[in-house]
């Protein structure tokens, strides 16, 4: 499984090209399961159509939107059959709540074996050990009263999307001082790539790593 953990989706050519390269098969033939659950409690979900339209623009034809808050019989087969899984942004507490409620959190890692995982904002946070970063202002509202913030734990670091776009670097630095894992603070034109077990930062934006860095981290693109 390879992962592309973005802040704002495929927001520039470098990220789009990275996605195309990582696709298990050609983009014209690849099947994408697009989990939009996190967006369901947002007052405006314009960004969902934006992200889907970007996929269509680069040639993806088979995109199926799924909401894991619905009964599993409505989405499980789609998730199993897809070669790529996108998890859209929105409310991180809400989407994690439904990963736990559906039981998907226990099975998700196995389901993603050999596939490409792409996170957007909340979706990227969900891939990490904890969604604690979602408490940094402007924090996501925890309307589901989630107390266990343990997430999918597919990587050994955390991601702070929208850093310096919506989230202040000062707030992220304060959080990182108490975090157990390094925090990749990325802006809306950057992403964290995990490819064959190696971690790098890709894109056309600015980023910073806070805390202890995993020794396997490789920087393919310098942060100029």
- Listed by start position, the domains of the chain span 2-210
Q: What is the mean pLDDT of residues 36-50?
A: 94
Q: What is the mean pLDDT of residues 185-203?
A: 97
Tell me the pLDDT band of 169, cut-offs 50, 70 and 90. Answer: very high
pLDDT of residue 209 exceeding 70: yes
Return the higher-pLDDT residue of 128 and 211.
128
Nearest to 163 by CA among 187, 189, 139, 146: 187
Q: What is the mean pLDDT of residues 118-133?
A: 98
* Calpha distance 224→211 (Å, rounded): 20
pLDDT of residue 171 exceeding 80: yes
CATH topology for 2-210 is Rossmann fold (3.40.50)
Task: Say if strands 31-35 and 62-66 run parallel, antiparallel, or are unpaired.
Answer: parallel
Residue 97 and residue 144 in contact, taking contact as beta carbons nearer than 8 Å:
yes
Burial of 145 (0-12, 13-18, 19+ CB in 10 A): exposed
Position 215 scores a pLDDT of 41
Q: What is the pLDDT of residues 137-163, one digit of tens each?
A: 999 999 999 999 999 999 999 999 999
Position 82 scores a pLDDT of 98
Q: What is the pLDDT of residues 11-26, one digit of tens each?
A: 999 999 999 999 999 9
Mean pLDDT of the chain: 94
* Calpha distance 127→221 (Å, rounded): 22
Q: What is the mean pLDDT of residues 38-66?
A: 96
* Calpha distance 24→35 (Å, rounded): 19
Q: Which long-range contacts link 127-130 to residues 24+ away (Cβ below 8 Å)?
A: 127/3, 127/5, 127/87, 127/151, 127/152, 127/154, 127/155, 127/159, 128/152, 128/153, 128/154, 128/155, 128/157, 128/158, 128/159, 128/181, 129/153, 129/155, 129/156, 129/158, 129/180, 129/181, 130/158
pLDDT of residue 116 exceeding 90: yes
């Amino acid at each position: 499984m390879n992962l592309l953990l973005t802040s704002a989706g495929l927001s520039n050519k470098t990220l789009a090209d990275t996605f195309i390269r990582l696709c298990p098969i050609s983009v014209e033939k690849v099947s994408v399961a697009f989990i939009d659950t996190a967006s369901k409690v947002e007052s405006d979900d314009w960004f969902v159509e934006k992200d889907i339209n970007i996929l269509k623009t680069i040639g993806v034809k088979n995109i199926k939107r799924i909401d894991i808050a619905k009964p599993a019989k409505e989405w499980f087969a789609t998730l199993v059959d897809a070669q790529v899984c996108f998890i859209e942004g929105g409310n991180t507490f809400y989407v994690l709540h439904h990963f736990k409620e559906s039981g998907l959190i226990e099975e998700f890692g196995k389901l993603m074996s050999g596939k490409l995982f792409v996170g957007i904002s909340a979706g990227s946070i969900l891939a990490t050990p904890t969604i604690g970063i979602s408490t940094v202002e402007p924090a996501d509202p925890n309307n589901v009263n989630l107390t266990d913030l343990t997430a999918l734990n597919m990587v050994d670091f955390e991601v702070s999307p929208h850093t310096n776009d919506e989230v202040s670097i000062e707030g992220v630095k304060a959080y990182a001082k108490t975090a157990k894992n390094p925090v990749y603070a990325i802006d809306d034109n950057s992403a964290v790539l995990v490819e064959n077990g190696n971690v790098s930062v890709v894109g056309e934006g600015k980023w910073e790593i806070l805390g202890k860095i995993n020794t396997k981290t490789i920087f393919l693109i310098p942060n100029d």
